[in-house]
Amino acid sequence: MEVKNKFWSDDPVLEKELDQVALLMKKQIKIQNKDIQQAIFDLLDAGGKRLRPAYLLLFAGFTSLKKEETYALAASIELLHTATLIHDDVIDHADTRRGVKTLSTKYSPEIAVYGGDYLFVAVFKLLAQHTFDTSNLVKHIDAMERLLGGELGQLDHHFDLNQSMADYLKNISGKTGELFALSACAAPLVQKENRLASLANKIGMAIGIAFQIMDDYLDYASDEATLGKPVFEDVKQGIYSAPVLFALEENRPVVEQLILNEQYDALYHWIKNSHALESTKNLARTYTNTALDLIEKLPDHKNKKSIAQLTYKLLERTL
């Protein structure tokens, strides 16, 4: 059930490379239960942008990494991302992801956890097949630890109406930023180009934070049909993202009462008619501009412009 994502229609070369990465990912997934295997394939095909492997491919252009090694790294990043999505859906009791039923809904939470765990194994099998340096595997483990730290930090602040913007930014730095940072710096790390890896890591982190802020912005600026997931899902579970935090800053008594009384439609309309969305977009723009400034420091290469264009495109997306 492959869904062609139009996001890459203006870059057919990168789109073709991402198709190769997708094929490699599927080759790694060999589960005895074919229904579950197909459900994972459906999630992989359901129109995700594949931004993390795209950034990995673009940053790999600054190195001498072979194509097959680059594809393996990109596939491992996206498998890792998909595994975290499957587990997130179990924790969040989510019914849909990218417009298709989640594994936990289609089968059971237990099956979904198994599927996510299997993808973690597939990641390291793929890396081992290409005999990447053990020190680089450690980098993956460190990033996963920080990613989990972001998830746990978010859990610590469930239903916390006194959460600060600093708390929110710290959590999304781990939850989303770390995987973007790893995507950007993985190829230079493998090539032991440490200065380039350090710069790429900073760029990826800024991109990841901006991306998550925009995701949270779109939760309130878009509708369920456009998003491919239920609106209000986060706030119902006590996860207060940037639009809610900015709304609380603007009028805490009113917004608190709407949340405490579970008046989600009213909260949605209040946020839409306040300055909260504008403030959220401006925050995303700040991190995007940080990334663009850092991108200017990259060595001269045709991919430099592509990285900058993609990063700006993410700020202006509507999905």
204 is a domain residue: yes
Per-residue pLDDT at 47 exceeds 70: no
Which domain does 211 fall in, by range? Answer: 159-313
217 is a domain residue: yes
48 is a domain residue: yes
Residues 84 and 194 in one domain: no
Residue 146 has a pLDDT of 57
User: Hey, what amino acid is at 116?
Assistant: G
Tokens (6 digits) for 83: 């595994």
Residues 66 and 168 in one domain: no
Element (H, E) at 101: strand 100-101
CB half-sphere exposure, 56, CA atoms < 13 A: 29
Is 263 in contact with 175 (CB distance < 8 Å)?
A: no
Residue 32 has a pLDDT of 84
Per-residue pLDDT at 309 exceeds 70: yes
95 is a domain residue: yes
Phi then psi for residue 101, to 5 deg, are: -65, 140
d(CA 85, CA 124): 18
Residue 136 has a pLDDT of 54
Per-residue pLDDT at 56 exceeds 60: yes
Residue 41 has a pLDDT of 85
- Count how many domains the chain has: 2
Per-residue pLDDT at 150 exceeds 50: no
What is the reported pTM? 0.88
Span 15-34, average pLDDT: 91
Q: What confidence category does residue 209 fall into, taking pLDDT thresholds of 50, 70 and 90?
A: very high
Span 244-250, average pLDDT: 97
Is 56 in contact with 184 (CB distance < 8 Å)?
A: yes
Span 290-304, average pLDDT: 97
d(CA 296, CA 91): 39
Burial of 138 (0-12, 13-18, 19+ CB in 10 A): exposed
Shortest CA distance to 107 belongs to which of 43, 36, 38, 45?
Answer: 36
d(CA 291, CA 182): 15
Cα distances (Å, whole numbers) of residue 211 to 170, 172, 181? 14, 10, 12
92 is a domain residue: yes
Span 222-230, average pLDDT: 56
Q: What confidence category does residue 153 fall into, taking pLDDT thresholds of 50, 70 and 90?
A: very low
Residues 294 and 180 in one domain: yes
